Amino acid sequence: MELLSVPWSLLSSCCNNVTLLGIFLTAFVLLFDFMKRRKTWTRYPPGPSSIPFLGSMLHVDFQQPHVSFTQLSKKFGNIFSFQICWRNLVVLNGFEVIKEALINKSEDIADRPRLPLYEHLGICGKSAGMILARYGRAWKDLRKFSLSTLRNFGMGKKSLEERIIEEAGFLSSAFESEESRPFDPHFIINNAVSNVICSITFGDRFEYTDEKFQKLLHLFEESMKLATGFLPQMLNAVPSMMYLPGPHQKILQIPKQIIRILKEIVDEHKKIWDPANKKDFIDAFLGEIEKTKGDQETTFNELNLLFTTSDLFSAGTETTSTTLRWALLFMLLHPDIQSKVHEEIDQMIGRERKPVLGDQVNMPFTNAVIHESQRCGDIVPIGLPHMAYRDTEILGFFIPKGTVVVTNLSSVLKDETYWEKPHQFYPEHFLNAEGQFVKREAFLPFSAGRRVCLGEQLARMELFIFFTTLMQRFTFLIPENQPKPQLDPCFAVTSSPHPYQICAKLR
């Protein structure tokens, strides 16, 4: 961790000295951009006009970029170009376009762009974790290891299913302790979902009152909020701004706090590490560090252990937790659908036996409700940015190597040419005329291709067991004398519901 702590403390102590340099660099970049002309290519996608320095940024509401991109696609087509300062982007919209890109041209756009904001934190090169790592051997080795290790510690196995069922019991008890009083389910659900990935990554679950656990959850939540909007885009476009004082410094400080907590956990593992008895992901990674010592090309180092653990913790918590909160909100707003779920649970499981994953095949309506919650909740409306790994072509448009490619997944989940009622909560999207569950090709909440979500299988297990367990035990009601909850989402990397109160009445 000396690699982390020395640069951060040095930058902090030198902040005043570099302020003038930062201002000079920023001014130089502005002047350079005024003189620069956007390069054009034959068959390059059309797009909105650009202005010096800002590019096309004024055409987008960065609090809900997916909405802006969908509107722009109606004018420029489902493949259009865009500029953030001087960086060229291509935005993809609609099922057919994104299917072509993520599935048929998967490797062509499997790279990730440079993000100076994260490089400033040390996330770069062979120590970039999994989510932001560039496409190549380091990323392939780490993803292969991570998938194998997650499977070894239970992903897709009965052992992990038992952990989820156990945690669902703790979650139900936490709901029951509210004794039908109004409460916000947000962090209670976060606790439960996060504990599943904690049991794999750290080797154990945390009590919901554990101070370190709560601090970690709140830091990740705050980090998600700060990572979106106009300011982070500017910091990535003009890295010299990071050395200037201002409110943006908070964006840099919170990830450092997260890494410090994770380092404490890793240090505790190192003290009792036994290569013959690897209990969790951290132990397995430490073993890989020992095994690959001397390999100059290896991605297995302690810094990357911290970043990869952070990736697993955040990805294993945020999307599943947010989906469950959307699902409960839809049950509040659609009591008739809630009643049908109750009926199916009573018929197929009863009220005493704990739900198991094997029940899913016999519960088409409940399964459809979960899938529709993912579709309508639109949890990750803008997939993480891709970058063209080589020159490629998507449906006739030329995408040069190094171009950032943005996949507007929201435009797939709400594609008006594909879904019958794209802007309504309608579980029948996933049911045929006989009431049987049907898969839909445009259901891509986890993205697709080379960069598909690593934890998709885990998330599917959690969503079914957590949701069915809660619905088995409770009827969810809007508290008396409280307004109807909003359906407009809050966008912060994920698209989550506004805070709402709920009453959980035992059935």
Q: Return binding residues.
A: 453
**CA torsion angle 257 259 264 267 (round to 10):** -160
Query: Is residue 110 within 8 Å of 407, Cβ to Cβ?
Result: no
Tell me which DSSP letter residue 103 carries: I
For residue 25, give the 3-state DSSP assignment: helix
- Cα 114 from chain centre: 18
C-alpha 283/C-alpha 263 separation (Å) is: 13
For residue 489, give the 3-state DSSP assignment: strand
Residues constituting the chain: 507
Can you list the positions of beta strands (E) in 389-458? Answer: 392-394, 397-399, 404-407
Q: Return binding residues for heme.
A: 453
**CA torsion angle 459 461 465 468 (round to 10):** 80
- Cα 234 from chain centre: 21
Closest CA to 423 of 377, 370, 367: 377
**Residue 255 is which amino acid?**
P
Q: At what angle do helices 318-333 and 335-348 cross, to 10 degrees?
A: 110
Query: Is residue 15 within 8 Å of 248, Cβ to Cβ?
Result: no
